[in-house]
Amino acid sequence: MTREVIASPLLGEIETGSECEMSFPFGIPGFEEMRRVVPVEIPAQRPLIYLLDAAHPETCFLALPVFVIDPHFKLTMTEDESAAIGLPAPPEAPCEPKIGEDVLCLALLVPSERTVRANLGCPLVVNLRNLRGIQCAPPDGYSNCLKLSPEGVWEPAC
Amino acid sequence: MLVVRRRAGEGIVVAGEIAIEVIEISRTRVKLGISAPREVPVLRKETVTLREENRQAAALVSEQGRAGIEQVLRALRLAMNNG
């Protein structure tokens, strides 16, 4: 198995390989060339997840598992999105894969005033069987945004 | 806005190099195939705003660095304790 060391300005040297990388065949909107994504967890900072662009490690996102933000979150994907990451498409299966069982589901954190907000309408979804991922973008993707207050409360933001 | 009527298998060409073909028409949706030069971004309308939001998300790390992350972590720890 090929090992590679990537140098992140923020996290230092990270050893990676195909088994610990996620593949985003279409990148993510705005970063269409970001195809190889390395998730990094720092135990003292859990549940925060760093998502590094393996090809350009200066590009890095912060993300949280969606259930950390909203324990009642329900994932819905379009047929095209499911197909893009190799999930069974209807009529074989509904477009509602099980989070934690079928897919990993993360929300990107966006700076907002003194803390962050998260758009749960546009999560990153990674098929746990092949580590292929996509950012969902439903037409009403801006109806489920939450903002983290400095006091630690997730509040509706859109 | 130019409005054209097309059937499945028919298409249109924009600027001589972008071809859009109607692949399939169902009761509620149309499946389109789009061929464009690599340098021409083809986006669903809903991803246009998302691109800007993702650029802001990347700036959280690249511009605010460790100080910004520490601020997020403080609020996050409070949220975990509240929850």
Amino acid at A89: A
Looking at the complex, does the CB of residue A76 fall below 8 Å from at least one CB of chain B? no
Strands, E, within chain A: which ranges? Answer: 3-8, 12-17, 22-23, 36-41, 49-53, 60-65, 103-112, 115-119, 124-127, 132-135, 145-148, 154-156
Lowest mean pLDDT among A88-92, A126-130, A153-157, B53-57: A88-92
Q: Quick check: B71 and A114 CB within 8 A? A: yes
Chain B's closest residue to A151, CA to CA, is: B75
pLDDT (0 to 100) of residue A132: 97
Neighbouring-strand partners of residue A31: A28
Q: Chain B residue closest to A107 (CA)?
A: B57
Mean pLDDT, residues A80-97? 79
Report the percentage of chain A scoring pLDDT > 90: 62
Contacts with A31 from chain B: Cβ below 8 Å: 54, 58
Q: What domains can be seen in chain A, in order of their start residue?
A: 3-156 (2.30.290.10)
**Assembly ipTM:** 0.89
Check CB contact under 8 Å for B54 and A30: yes
Secondary structure (H, E, C), chain B: CCCCCCCCCCEEEECCCEEEEEEEECCCCEEEEEECCCCCCCCCHHHHHHHHHHHHHHHHHHCCHHHHHHHHHHHHHHHHHHC
Q: Name the residue among A10, A50, A115 with its Cβ closest to that of B75.
A: A115
Domain boundaries, chain B: 1-39, 45-82
Question: In what helix (H) or strand (E) does residue A83 lie, and over which residues does it extend?
Answer: helix A79-84
Range of A6-15, A76-85, A124-133, B37-46 with top mean pLDDT: A124-133
Q: Per residue in A22-69, pLDDT tens?
A: 999 999 999 999 999 999 999 999 999 999 999 999 999 999 999 999
Residue A92 has pLDDT above 70, yes or no: no
Distances (CA, A) of A38 to A35, A81, B74: 10, 21, 24
Hey, what amino acid is at A114? Answer: R
- Grouping H, G, I as helix, E, B as strand and the rest as coil, residue A92 is coil
Cβ pairs A/B, distance under 8 A: 108
pLDDT band at A113 (very low <50, low <70, confident <90, very high): confident
